[in-house]
Amino acid sequence: MFKVNDLTKVYPGGRGIQGLNLTVHAGEVVALLGPNGAGKTTAMQAMAGWLGTDRGEACWNGASVAERPELTRPYMGLMIGEPSPYLYLTGYDYLRCYHKLYPGVDEARIRQTLELVGMTKHRDLKIKKYSTGMKQRLELASVLLHRPKLLLLDEPFSGMDIEGRREIALMLRGLVADTGMSVIVSSHQVHDIEDWITHACIVYEGRHIHTAGIVQVRESFAGVEDYYLHHLAQERSGGV
């Protein structure tokens, strides 16, 4: 179980994230929704232990991610921010860099993961020749190599075409169903994730304003997008 309790990181000028609370069980997929600048990336960086927080914490099975990384990081796959693979390497060689970082990641696992993200035919191409979408796929492969129990994915479909977004969404959905993996994902393309999320969490201007299960959302709204727009409009009007 991944639990986020009152997670708060505020920058000068008020940017950041305040009072984020989440509980994510095995097999659950939480969509982190909000406008640009709402605090989604900061929230993920803080959940990953990349940022010191003003208060609150994120814990994996009771262990603090920030204070006990040796007990938490092996179970997490983190894809946060712009992909930044080494451009002079091939895709295959880039993944081989992770050989010694994760026990159990062998040549067979590298090949399997490249196939999983649809990059087998591009494995021997220099990364500098990759499109943005191909770099996203490779970065996703790098965080899946060690078979994590929890994924934090910040805009994983950025730069992908419609077909690519659909293909990767279906792959992730299958992984969740087959392995019980948990996922926290942010995306501007709500339609890409609507079919496989179990919960939606809305942040606005650095504040956590609402979280609901997908069953509850569909009882009251036509879809996740309507749920999101409703609560955003309510917040902007002062809750009236």
Q: Is the pLDDT of residue 14 over 80?
A: no
The span from the CA of 183 to the CA of 135, in Å, is 20
Strand ranges of the sheet holding 2-10, from the earlier edge strand across to the other edge: 63-64, 55-60, 2-10, 16-24, 207-213, 199-204, 29-33, 182-186, 150-154, 76-79
In this prediction, residues 65-84 reach a mean pLDDT of 89
| pLDDT at residue 85 in the model | 67
Number of structural domains found in the chain: 1
Report the half-sphere exposure of 78 (CA within 13 A, side-chain side). 18
φ/ψ of 192, rounded to 5, equals -70, -25
28: CATH: 3.40.50.300
Q: Say if 122 falls within a structural domain.
A: no
Mean pLDDT of 105-129: 95
In the chain, the N- to C-terminal Cα span, in Å, equals: 35
pLDDT at residue 208 tops 60: yes
- Is the pLDDT at 86 greater than 90, yes or no? no
pLDDT band for position 43 (cuts 50, 70, 90): very high
Could you tell me if residue 175 is inside a domain? yes
Within its chain, how far is the Cα of 26 from the centroid?
Answer: 15
Distance CA 153, CA 21 (A): 18
Is residue 140, in this structure, part of any structural domain at all? no
Per-residue confidence (pLDDT) for residue 57, from 0 to 100: 94
Q: How large is the average pLDDT for residues 22-39?
A: 93
Question: pTM (2 decimals)?
Answer: 0.93
- 3-state DSSP helix/strand/coil percent for the chain, to nearest 5? 40, 25, 35
- pLDDT at position 4 is 96
139 is a domain residue: no
Residue 53 has pLDDT above 60, yes or no: yes
> Residue 239: which pLDDT band, with cuts at 50, 70 and 90?
low
Q: Note whether residue 96 is domain-resident.
A: no
d(CA 83, CA 50): 16
* 125 is a domain residue: no
Q: Is residue 31 part of a domain?
A: yes
Classify residue 173: in a domain, yes or no: yes
Range of the domain at 223: 2-83+149-236
Q: How confident is the model at residue 226 (pLDDT cuts 50, 70, 90)?
A: very high
Instruction: Give the type of residue at 85.
Output: P
The pLDDT of residue 24: 96
Output the average pLDDT for the chain.
91
DSSP string, 8-38: EEE-TTS-EEEEEEEEE-TT-EEEEE--TTS
